[in-house]
Structure formats: C-alpha cells, structure tokens
Structure 1
Amino acid sequence: MADGYRGGGAESRRGRTHSKMDKSLKAARQTPMRVLDIGCAANKMPDAIGIDINPQSQADILHDLNLYPYPIEEGSIDKIYAKHIIEHLDNPRSFLKEIRRVLKPGGTAYIETPHFSCRVAYSEPEHKLFYSYFMFTELLKGIDFKVLLQEITFYKTFRACGIRYLANRFPDTYERFWTYLFPAENVILEIQRPSS
C-alpha cells in the first residue's frame, strides 16, 4: 500500500452535506445514473459505487486513490462525489484528470475540501495540501472542465453576518484580509465534463 489516503479519521464529517449537494443528490436519485462516491469511507451514498482504500469502508472497489487509473471504465460515470478526499491525495491534478477520464460527456463532479482557514484542514496529519478558493482555478488549468459552481462555505456561526456573500463575491479580498477573522469551513467545486 502506498503512503497516502487510508480513509477514516476526522473524515466522519463526510456525513454532513451542503445544501447544493443535497439538491444534486435528489436529482441523481430521480433519474437512473451511475454515481461514483470517491473515498466513500463508512458513509457511502445510497445506490452509488464506492471506491476507497480502507477495507473497513463500504467500498465496492478497494483501491489506493493515489494510483491511476482507477479500475473504472472510461466515460462510464454520470456523477462523482469526492467529499473530503482531495486534500489526502499526493497529486490533485492527476486526480482531476482521472475524474475527467471516468465521467461521461456531460457528467458532473462535486468536490468538497476544507478551506485553509478551517481548523479541520490542519487537524488531520494525512492532509497533504490546504485549499483556497483559487487553488482549484490553478489545478484545473489545461483540464477540459466547465466550472458550474465554485464557492466558499462557512459554519453556521458566520452565515448570519453576510460573510458568505462577501467572500464569494470578493474571494481575493476575503482570502487576503478577512479569512482569519471569519474562518471558512469548506471550498466546494462542481465541474462538468463538456458534452463534445
């Protein structure tokens, strides 16, 4: 087994979902589609194909997520969820390329990771990188994806003060000046493989 993501740990936070992810999950359940839950741990999404390295996970496919390609047919997946997994991986660009490879044309991927200002980003010794709003912009360069959503989320405490709106309207200003006054929770990204 290669050094890298082993599943478990504080990633039990996977059980919480973001409201945009909830809507996406409902849509996925209403139409027949192949859904892949990457790094599913013990909370695999219902009716999804789970892939994880941890033998105690609910994975259908046991595989080291740092080794590419995954044992999944090219262009065979409609929707991918990778919640709190990319921060564990050695090469996030290779991971994004692999997501593109397995997605069907028009398929979408939802990625969620702790924002660098979040305490959780530093509490797991297995975390390899800390993500900002702009990290995904850099990682996606040269990979053919359409960005459907890129957003910073916050804990409930800070939502009432309007910081979420300001942070997503002015992400550079937020990350340069406000991030340590109002720490974020996650960075979320929803991307789509172009249809043609």
Structure 2
Amino acid sequence: MGGEARQQLTDEYLAGAVGEILAHDERVRGLDVMAEVDGGVVHLRGRVDRPAQLDTVRRLAGRLAGVHAVWDRVRVAGRDPVALDLGCGEQRQYPTNIGVDRRRTPSVAAVADVSRPLPFRDASVDRVFAVHVLEHLIDFLPLVAECHRVLRPGGVLHVLSPWWKHVNAVADPTHVRLLDTQTIKGICSGPDRPAWFPLHVGRDESTVFADLTPAPPGDGPDERHMARFFD
C-alpha cells in the first residue's frame, strides 16, 4: 500500500475515533464540536461555552496514536478565535486567519517581516500558525518569543516544518535551519527566553509538528509530560 493511500485510511480511522470520543466520552459529550482529519492533523470546528471544554477536546484527540497536531476554528463563549498565519504567502491555513507576510498577496492582511517584531499588541491573538516558516530563519527564537508575546493565555502556537532527515529539508535552497522534535524541546525551555508547554509534538516521515501554549511565568511542563514527546 502506498504512503498516500495509507494516510488517507489512517485519517478516516482517526476521524471516526475522534467522533466516537465526542459522542460518547462524558467529558465532552454533547458539545457542538465536529472534527475532520487531514494528514494526521485533527481540524476542530464548532462552538463551546468555556475554554476548558475546548482544551479537553484537544487533549483527548491528541492522545490518539497517529495524530500529529490538533488545530481548531472553534468559537468560544461567543467569540471566534483570532488567528495569525505567519509567512502565509498565497494561502492561509484557514480562510478566517489573518495573513502576515513581507509581500502583499490576496491572502495577506498585514505586510510585515516575521524576522522583526510583529505589529500586534501583547496578548491579542488566540492562535499563531507558523507553517513552513522557522526553517527559513537563521535565528527563529526571536519570532518564537514574539508569538509568545502576542498570544493570549491559553493560546496556541502551531509549528510545522520539514523533518531534518527528509529530502524536503534540504531541497529548498531558502531553508537555512534543520528541525527535529528535539528542536521543539529546546524551544519549550531555555535561559532568558519565555517557556512553552507542549500540548502535542510529533513527526511523520517528512514533517515535524508542534502545538505549544505559553507556560505561566515561573512555571513549565514536568518531566513526565515532556517524556511523552522528547528523548
């Protein structure tokens, strides 16, 4: 069986599994949330009354083997999430995302160089998508710190980059950094930079995925949680 056919079948299985969780798990049963799966990424949509309800759905879906990331367009307490799509180019991950790029395209709402401070207020957004962005920056830690700054408490940074062992990581001459899941471990904590709590980190044969949320000041994930994702 080819890789694409297997992934399609896996996505169908995972969509059914998440659907069963939403239908039968008493912690989330009755929520107006639906799920689709594409390439191992669970896409949630719908509406909930409280952030904790969405957090629970995200956590339960992320525990399934084969899930690489959990993204959402879920309306919380009557408010749609504000999402930045960094370096989006011609296409945003979701049509409602705010496209950010240094060149103007129909998908770009804010023209900005992501290697410089982002033109958004502190704690002003709910999601940041950095999809095929970090590998283009010699030093991506300032951008990661900017994502931490602009995210609201409970917000999520979604990272997607080529895995260093796959040819895609080196085939593009504009790639200047190589990433692994262990790179995400280094992003999560380090001296003199903001800490992140990993909600989900993984990879397939070509791509590294990470869902990260800002850790409270002076706090961070414990060793047991980190052991889920990192060596």
TM-score (norm 1): 0.70
Question: Which protein is bigger by CA-based radius of gyration?
Answer: 2
The structure with the largest helix share of the pair is: 1
Question: Residue type of the partner of 1:146?
Answer: F
Is 1:98 the counterpart of 2:146 in the alignment? yes
The yes-or-no answer on 1:53 pairing with 2:102 is yes
Distance 1:122 1:98 in 2: 26
Residue 137 (structure 1) shift: 1.1
Q: How does 1:98-137 map to 2 (within 5 A)?
A: 98-137=146-185
State the alpha-carbon separation in 2 of the partners of residues 150 and 30 from structure 1: 24
Cα distance in 1 for residues equivalent to 2:106 and 2:135: 18
Q: Contact 2:89–2:107 (CA<8 Å) still a contact in 1?
A: yes
1:193 positional shift:
1.5
Say if 2:208 is the partner of 1:187.
Answer: yes
Gaps of 5+ in 1: 1-16, 154-183
Q: Where does residue 130 of structure 2 map in the other structure?
A: 82
Q: Who is 2:197 aligned against?
A: 146
**Which structure is higher in strand share?**
2
Which stretches in structure 2 are left out of the alignment for 5+ residues?
Answer: 1-37, 45-69, 218-231
Give aligned pairs, total: 149
Q: Secondary structure at the match of 1:134?
A: helix
Amino acid corresponding to residue 95 of structure 2 in structure 1: P
Question: TM-score scaled by structure 2?
Answer: 0.60
- Tell me what 1:167 maps to: none
User: Partner of 1:70 in structure 2?
Assistant: 118
Higher relative contact order, structure no. (Cα contacts within 8 Å, ≥ 6 residues apart): 1
In 2, the alpha carbon distance for the partners of 1:129 and 1:21 equals 27
Contact kept in structure 1, 2:115 and 2:140, CA below 8 Å? no
Determine if contact 2:187/2:196 at 8 Å carries over to the other structure.
no
CA-based RMSD of the aligned residues comes to: 2.0
Q: What is the CA-CA distance between 1:97 and the residue it aligns to?
A: 0.6
Task: Give distance in 1, aligned partners of 2:131 and 2:42.
Answer: 10
